Structure 1
Amino acid sequence: MTITKPVFDRLGFWLWVGAFLVVLGLALWSPNARSVVHIYKHGSEAFLSRQPLYQVEVAMGYLYAPAFAVLYVPLLKLGPYLGKLLWHMLGFGALTFAAMRQVRKLGGHEQTWLLSVGLFLALPVALAALRNGQATVLLTGACWFLTLSALEGRRSESFFWATLAIIAKPTAIIMLLLAGALRPRLIPALVLAVLVVLAIPYGFASTDYINAQYHDFFRMLTSMTIDPTGPFVPADFTAPFTRLGMTVPELDATIVRVVAGLLTLWLVLQFDRRLDPNISGLAIFLTAAFYMCVFNPRVEQNTYAMVSVPAGLSIALLWREKGAATVRWLLATLLFATGLTSIDSRLHDLFHPWLRPISISIIACVLIGWFWTRGRQKMPTAGAVAHG
């Protein structure tokens, strides 16, 4: 660390900011190139004209709650340039400030170095999602803030971030369930957040229209499968099997997701009880993000941006520990190199979509195991933390 610290004390952070500035420049230069923002735009336009939001038969296109269409309208009205610019800044700002809050929570005398190294390692995996303007970036920041606010028992903050997370993507319900399990006293605030998100569209359109959209929305959510003949190619844990020509039966995949979900719940409860409060938030969010990426049936390659930053910070934290030099170098190299597989179309075709679920699973499992070992070492002196 004495060799790398002078180099990465600030370099990684400015590379992160510089890459985002390049993204903004590309977004202004060519608003419709390599972007999913047009999907959000079309959703808001359909809402304003009272047209159907969803394509239930193919489960593609607009996949967000009706509240997303409502709240994106102001950005739509700002035009293709300013509106898109602000959208990119919203997601990037939420993710970056969540990482900064996490680093402040970790404490110590090397906070700048931790943030810089973590963002540097995460940049290749996260860059495509930042470039495309995907809601995953906003989802990650909101869920991270929700984790930290919930662990600190902050009801108002938890309500706000839960609301924003659900609006960003419906999969945020996983994080709300974990937050409620960690802090049962926050359950009313979390339930209220869901109700508010469901109620928002009714203030801007007729009841019949909104009811019809919710009918299609919930039908679409329940119709998403791992059918390899469909237009969507999932990049979850089934992707390596699909690449080998082996279709995982839907029932078997569902069983794996349920078992993994129960194991995730048990792990986050254990981390909350065993780990130092300054570290538990990072371990818990890393575990939750890993589940939301690898075991979510609607995951794509760019969704792994969600786990890249907490994984990068965890590797940087591991780097401060004595020993395990080989492990930390392997993890850092694997995370950084995983994101580089999309820089060339031939590499992308070779490694898509099977590489990321494998490499991220290796990284996350090793880091989760390290957090677990760290918790066991602190058990004799650490008191139990109440979950209420």
Structure 2
Amino acid sequence: MVITKPVFDRLGLLLWVGAFAVVLAMTWWAPSAHSVVPIYRNGSEAFVAARPLYQVHVAMGFLYAPAFAVVYIPLMKLGPHVGDLLWHMIGFGVLTFAAMRQVRKVGGEEQAWLLSFGLFLALPVSLAALRNGQATILLTGACWFLTLSALEGRRAECFFWAMLAITAKPTAIIMLLLAGALRPRLIPVLALAVIVVLVIPYGFASAGYINAQYYDFFRMLTSMTVDPTGPFVPADFTAPFTRFGMTLPALDATIVRVVAGSLTLWVVLQFDRRLDPNVSGLAIFLTAASYMCVFNPRVEQNTYAMVAVPAGLSIALLWREKGPVIMRRLLAALLLVTGLTSVDTRLHDLFHPWFWPIGISIVACLLIGWFWARGKQNMPAAGAVAHG
């Protein structure tokens, strides 16, 4: 760290903010270029005009809850320039402040370096999602805040972040279930947040129209499967098999997801018991985010931005704690290289979509293993933490 600290004490944070400033400039210049935000605008426009929101048979286009269309209406009315700019800023701000809160929670010396170096490592994997205006960025920040608030037992904060997360993407339900398992006393609050999100659209359109949209929405969610002949190319753990002509049967993939989900829940509960409370939130969110990316059947390459920042901060923490030299250098290099495989079209064609799930899985598993070993060392002193 003697070599890296003088370089990354501020440089990583400057690169993170500077890259986003370039993203904002590109967004202002061409709002619809290389962006998914037009899908959000179209969803809000369809909602205002009482048109169908979903293309159920192809499961493409607007894939969010009706509440998302309602929440995005003010940004839609501001127009593609101002509205898109604000949307990018909201997602970036929530994610960045979540990382800052996590660093303050971890504490210790050189917190500025920890944040700066972590964001530097996360930038290549995160940049495309930031550029495209992916709701994944907002989802990541909201789920991270939800994790920290749940571990601290802050009910009002949990309610707000749970609502924002489930509005951003339906997959946030995984994080809500984990939060409920970690702190059962918060289950009523989390359930109320889901109910409020479901009810919000009824205040802005007729009940008949909203009921029809929910029917299509839940039908679309239950019909999403891995279909190699469809327009969507999944980048989950099945991607390497599909890329090399070994498509996994749907039943086998489902079994793997269920087993991985059960293992994730067990690991998260163990982290909550064994790790220092200042570090447990980072380990728990990294584990949950890795599952939500690698084992989500609807994941795409840009979804891995959800793992990038917690992985970057974890590597920076490993570096600060003077972990094994080879391990920390390998993890830092692999996270950077994984993101850089998309900087060139030829590299992208060669490595998409099979390399990212492999690279991110290696990074996540090694970091989770390091947190696990750290937890075992702390067990005699820390003891058990009561849940609830």
TM-score, normalising length: structure 1: 1.00
**Residues 223-260 of structure 1: CA deviation (Å, up to 9, x unaligned):** 11111001100000000000011111111111110100
Identity %: 81
SS of the residue corresponding to residue 51 of structure 2 reads coil
* Alpha-carbon distance in structure 2 between the residues aligned to 1:380 and 1:219: 50
**Residues 81-123 of structure 1: CA deviation (Å, up to 9, x unaligned):** 1100100000000000000000000001110000000000000
Question: Any unmatched runs of 5+ in structure 1?
Answer: none
Partner amino acid, structure 2, of 1:339:
G
Question: Any unmatched runs of 5+ in structure 2?
Answer: none
Are residue 337 (structure 1) and residue 358 (structure 2) matched?
Answer: no
Q: Identify the residue that residue 160 of structure 2 maps to in structure 1.
A: 160
Partner amino acid, structure 2, of 1:369:
G
Runs of 4+ in 1 over 3 A off after TM superposition: none
Q: Identify the residue that residue 352 of structure 1 maps to in structure 2.
A: 352
Q: Larger deviation: 22-31 or 378-387?
A: 378-387
* Alpha-carbon distance in structure 1 between the residues aligned to 2:166 and 2:322: 40
* Alpha-carbon distance in structure 1 between the residues aligned to 2:38 and 2:291: 28
Q: Identify the residue that residue 43 of structure 1 maps to in structure 2.
A: 43
SS of the residue corresponding to residue 381 of structure 1 reads helix
Are residue 64 (structure 1) and residue 52 (structure 2) matched?
Answer: no
| C-alpha deviation, 1:321, in angstroms | 2.1
* Alpha-carbon distance in structure 1 between the residues aligned to 2:323 and 2:80: 51
Q: Identify the residue that residue 206 of structure 2 maps to in structure 1.
A: 206
* Alpha-carbon distance in structure 2 between the residues aligned to 1:257 and 1:221: 16
TM-score, normalising length: structure 2: 1.00
* Alpha-carbon distance in structure 2 between the residues aligned to 1:284 and 1:128: 25
Q: Identify the residue that residue 376 of structure 2 maps to in structure 1.
A: 376
| C-alpha deviation, 1:322, in angstroms | 2.8
| C-alpha deviation, 1:323, in angstroms | 4.4
Q: Identify the residue that residue 136 of structure 1 maps to in structure 2.
A: 136
**Residues 14-42 of structure 1: CA deviation (Å, up to 9, x unaligned):** 10000000000000011110000000000
* Alpha-carbon distance in structure 1 between the residues aligned to 2:386 and 2:53: 43
* Alpha-carbon distance in structure 1 between the residues aligned to 2:247 and 2:121: 33
User: In the comparison of the two structures, how many residue pairs are matched?
Assistant: 388
* Alpha-carbon distance in structure 1 between the residues aligned to 2:14 and 2:189: 37
Q: Identify the residue that residue 74 of structure 1 maps to in structure 2.
A: 74
* Alpha-carbon distance in structure 1 between the residues aligned to 2:121 and 2:232: 29
Are residue 8 (structure 1) and residue 8 (structure 2) matched?
Answer: yes
* Alpha-carbon distance in structure 2 between the residues aligned to 1:323 and 1:241: 33
Please give the residue correspondences for 1:252-291 in structure 2 after superposition, counting only pairs within 5 Å.
252-291=252-291
Q: Identify the residue that residue 301 of structure 1 maps to in structure 2.
A: 301
Please give the residue correspondences for 1:80-95 in structure 2 after superposition, counting only pairs within 5 Å.
80-95=80-95
Q: RMSD of the TM alignment (CA)?
A: 0.5
| C-alpha deviation, 1:386, in angstroms | 1.2
Q: Identify the residue that residue 26 of structure 1 maps to in structure 2.
A: 26
Q: Identify the residue that residue 245 of structure 1 maps to in structure 2.
A: 245
Please give the residue correspondences for 1:104-253 in structure 2 after superposition, counting only pairs within 5 Å.
104-253=104-253
* Alpha-carbon distance in structure 1 between the residues aligned to 2:109 and 2:2: 14
Alpha carbons of structure 1 residues 372 and 323: separation in structure 2 relative to 1, 3 Å: closer
* Alpha-carbon distance in structure 1 between the residues aligned to 2:128 and 2:96: 16
| C-alpha deviation, 1:291, in angstroms | 0.1
| C-alpha deviation, 1:3, in angstroms | 1.0
Q: Identify the residue that residue 96 of structure 2 maps to in structure 1.
A: 96
| C-alpha deviation, 1:383, in angstroms | 2.4
